[in-house]
Amino acid sequence: MLILGIESSCDETAAAVLASPLEVRSSVVASQIAQHQPYGGVVPELAAREHVKAFPPVLEAAVREAGIAWSDLDGIAVTQGPGLASSLLSGLSVARGLSQRLNIPLYPVHHLEGHILSLYFSQPAISQPCPALVMLVTGGHTALMRMTAPGVYEVLGRSIDDAAGEALDKGARLLGLPYPGGPEIEKLALTARGSGPRFPRGLPRGEDVKKRGGEYPFSFSGLKTSLRYHLEQNPEADKAEVAAAYQEAVMSSLCARVEEALQAYEDWACVACVGGVAKNQYLRAGLETLCERFDKALVTVPIGYCTDNAAMIAAVPLLRDLTPADEAVKIDPNLVLSGVQLRK
């Protein structure tokens, strides 16, 4: 079984070929970071135009590097949402056209489910990864989940405001660093001596925090505001020290919730961290320490599959049953992961 994955929810144009059970034959990602950097963030119109330009060579490369012919493909998986409407649309049009021409099924995939199931690229050696405590940390979403099988997820907690990646991107902007901010903050923080301020990491007060964020809520917008005040009041502050302190506050809030969930349930088979922010070595080290303490296996996604890629999209129909779409399938910029409930 050979599946072509197609991903274009934001500013990466990606295609990948996977063979069953879960062998990555090729994974090609064309990043548009350089085009968006002058604007300090992703410009939707620019992204859509770049996807249209990038898809033909990216698809050709994915098939060529996999060493297959187009006619060998058995199905196509494409990101249906969530994401930028015009970006999603370019991926879906390409995928639909190919599935019709090759007469093979088209599987619409939820972008976040792709991130979640990327944990299977980590250690095929873990034969029994469930129930997994999954920390999903991307530029748009932050959630702590309980996965009992591919396709069966329960949200234990989520952010009530900014996502962790968003907090890093916005923080980097305040620090005068380029987009995307997460890797820039990590790089700068490595040069710090640890003499920066201590930023607050508490949750806002109020009853509705758990209603909106679940049993293990996250909140990052207050932290971003403290960073802004700190920089306004200390214009001469050492940026590296401040970046390190800010990164520490974001990552330790993430680790604190994981620790609570490790304490609350005893049956975890592993802890997994997925999404772009999972690239961060400081976060990985924090989770490793926690997992050692609780004697749990830590599943870390290989660096190349943390940020947006198409291999994780192609993985979804290989790991669980998906219904193929009909010709009327549409993108959904606000697509909800089906069947997932927030545990209150």
Q: Which residues bind ligand KG4 (CB under 6 A)?
A: 10, 138-140, 165, 168-169, 180-183, 186, 275-277, 279-280, 307-308
CA distance 293 to 34: 41
Report the residue number, 73 or 243, with the smaller CB distance to ligand KG4. Answer: 243
Residue 216 phi/psi, 5° resolution? -125, 70
Query: 340 exposed, middle or buried (CB, 10 Å; 0-12, 13-18, 19+)?
Result: middle
Report the residue number, 99 or 142, with the smaller CB distance to ligand KG4. Answer: 142
* Burial state string for 78-115 with b = 16 or more CB within 10 A and e = fewer than 16: bbbbbbbebbbbbbbbbbbebbeebebbbbbbbbbbbb
Position of tokens 């299977």? 120
Does position 79 interact with Zn ion (CB under 5 A)? The reply is no
What is the closest distance, in whole angstroms, from the C-beta atom of residue 87 to ligand KG4 in the complex? 12
CA distance 146 to 274: 13
Q: How many residues does the chain have?
A: 344
Among 13, 80, 90, 138, binds Zn ion (CB under 5 A): 138
Report the residue number, 186 or 308, with the smaller CB distance to Zn ion. Answer: 308
Q: Residue 129 binds which entry of ligand KG4, Zn ion, none, with Cβ cut-offs from 5 to 8 Å by kind?
A: none
What is the closest distance, in whole angstroms, from the C-beta atom of residue 162 to ligand KG4 in the complex? 10
What is the closest distance, in whole angstroms, from the C-beta atom of residue 52 to Zn ion in the complex? 20
What is the closest distance, in whole angstroms, from the C-beta atom of residue 182 to ligand KG4 in the complex? 2
Q: Do β-strands 106-110 and 152-158 pair in parallel, antiparallel, or remain unpaired? A: unpaired
Does position 308 interact with Zn ion (CB under 5 A)? The reply is yes
Token reading at 31:
């990043």
What is the closest distance, in whole angstroms, from the C-beta atom of residue 64 to ligand KG4 in the complex? 25
Q: Choose the stretch contacting Zn ion; rule: CB under 5 A; options: 98-106, 138-146, 201-209, 287-295.
A: 138-146
